[in-house]
Amino acid sequence: MSWIRESELSLLQKIAANILKAGPMPKHVAFIMDGNRRFARKKNVERQEGHMQGFNKLAETLCWCQHLNIREVTVYAFSIENFKRAKAEVDGLMELAKQKFTRLLEERDNLEKHSVCIRVLGDLTMLPLDLQQLIAKAVFETRTHNKCFLNVCFAYTSRHEITNAVREMAWGVEQGLIKSSDVSEALLSKCLYSNNSPNPDLLIRTSGEVRLSDFLLWQTSHSCLVFQSVLWPEYSFWNLCEAILQYQFNYRSIQKARDLHREEQELQQLEADRACVAEVLQHHGNGKPADAQRRQEALLHYTACREERVQDFLEALKHKRDSFFTDLASQAVAR
């Protein structure tokens, strides 16, 4: 079944959508699509069928998001922890993924028409090589699309993502691109797999579980969390509306918390820069304390240099990541 649905909303759904759109709408929604196996048990079908239904529901949900002007969606498709499942189930999921990504590549015209950019976040080296190549091809071929974004977390856990970001920064330090004092919250965010996306505004988890299960822990620190008891394959447009309504209810207080956090972050960066400058001035100062003007000039100069260093590092990182996908994608073609 297809990734892209082109169905219209019913009249009632259209009205509901318009009412919701009168308020603040989330621009980026993350889904933990939980409940496929319980759904399969409930309907007395195979687990694999539950996962298939789950995928269909994903396609449908993307269509609703389009109608609601939600341009970016991130989904938790496969956790590194899921490798612990029975081999048969894991193999089944890998097969399903291969089918879906193959199908995705067949629909490239449709993807171009809707300008959908697919990104896959996670440690792809943990997946079978042929799946890696398919994924790389899908990512490569949609990389310039910019109307809507679908981020699929595959072989992903948040702790791995954060650790990987720290490793990338350490790589930058080893390469001499940045200093350890350049490490900051903002820089770490830019080294995550999700660095091209804004933080999710809304995180929805289905099936009644009330935990994050190692999903986007860093990015959702100030997001609206909505836990819904419906099983994922049974998710409806009205469930989505309910979640958005809850987001709107929380909007002002969460915005306030976000602004507060950003201010504190900026303050911390300023303090860190000041400390570095003080150290530099001490080295070059011959013991004489520098006057306020000199300190200010030194601070501005230091900040500018730091930002340039960081920019160069991020360019190098982007190049490294793009090459990874390009190389894999070209392997897929050569086959």
Partner 1 sequence: MALLYGLLWRLLLVLVHLHRTLVSWLRLRLRSWKGRLWERAVAALLLPVALLGFPDHQKKLNQNRDSNPSPVTGNRAASRRSQWLSDGQALEKLPVHIGLLVAEEEPSYTDIANLVVWCMAVGISYVSVYDNYGIIRKNNSRLLEEIVRQQQDLLGVDGSKYNVEFLSNGNDKHQHHVLSCRPVVKVLSPEDGKQSIVQAAQQLCRSVENKERTFKDISVSMLDTLLRESKNIPDPELVVKFGPIDSTLGFLPWHIRLTEFISLPSHIDVSYEDMLGALQQYASCQQRLGK
Instruction: Give me the residues that bind partner 1 (CB under 8 A), please.
Output: 18-23, 79-85, 157-160, 162-163, 165-171, 173-174, 179-181, 183-185, 188, 209-214, 217-218, 220-227, 245-246, 248-250, 253-254, 257, 260-261, 264, 268
Query: Please, what is the Cα angle at 310 between 304 and 316, to 5 degrees?
Result: 140
* Nearer to partner 1 among residue 231 and residue 332 (C-beta): 231
Q: Report the distance separating Cα 322 and Cα 331, nearest Å.
A: 14
CB atoms near residue 228 (< 10 Å): 19
To partner 1, the closest distance from the beta carbon of 272 in angstroms equals 9
Q: Report the distance separating Cα 268 and Cα 304, nearest Å.
A: 17
* Nearer to partner 1 among residue 62 and residue 169 (C-beta): 169
Token pair for 314: 């991020």
To partner 1, the closest distance from the beta carbon of 247 in angstroms equals 8
To partner 1, the closest distance from the beta carbon of 13 in angstroms equals 14
To partner 1, the closest distance from the beta carbon of 17 in angstroms equals 10
* Nearer to partner 1 among residue 16 and residue 120 (C-beta): 16
* Nearer to partner 1 among residue 56 and residue 303 (C-beta): 303
Say if CB 97 and CB 156 are below 8 A apart: no
Q: Report the distance separating Cα 114 and Cα 29, nearest Å.
A: 18
To partner 1, the closest distance from the beta carbon of 255 in angstroms equals 11
Say if CB 38 and CB 207 are below 8 A apart: yes
Cβ density class 24-38: b for 16+ within 10 Å, e for less: ebbebbbbbbbbbbe
To partner 1, the closest distance from the beta carbon of 85 in angstroms equals 6
Long-range contacts of 174-177 (CB under 8 A, 24+ apart): 175/316, 177/309, 177/312, 177/313, 177/316
* Nearer to partner 1 among residue 18 and residue 115 (C-beta): 18
* Nearer to partner 1 among residue 55 and residue 78 (C-beta): 78
